[in-house]
Amino acid sequence: MEKTSWEKLEGEQLNKLVSRQMLNGDNATIARLLMTRGAVVPRHWHVSEQFSLILSGALKFVFDDREVVVRGGEVLYIPANEPHSAVALEDTVDIDFFAPRREDWIRREDAYLREQRV
């Protein structure tokens, strides 16, 4: 069992518009992403299911056949292996939960997030 707070966790500036903090368990990852308006998460997919809880701001998620805007207080479920991208419509605080855990992030194989795109 482990208790902490986001304020105690080390953050990582992925690019000029996105920073991330994360915690990993044996089978899941939870992350807080701070995204400046205009930040882009390029199209990608992963073997993890994803829940994105927007605490404040708004993200537009783009899927093959639709776009979904998720605002503060709303949650989006993304199935495993579902290609998607996102754009911050406002300055946004996003909590993402993944199961299984994001091994690619743990190994720093996340260049798609580290590239500056606006």
pLDDT tens, residue by residue, 76-85:
999 999 999 9
CATH value of 11-114 in 2.70.98.30, 2.60.120.10, 2.40.37.10, 3.30.1490.20? 2.60.120.10
- Tens of pLDDT, residues 32-68: 999 999 999 999 999 999 999 999 999 999 999 999 9
| pTM, 2 dp | 0.93
In sign, the C-alpha dihedral spanning 86, 112, 114, 100 is positive
Domain parsing of the chain, residue ranges: 11-114
Q: Which of 113, 93, 107 is nearest to 35 (CA)?
A: 93
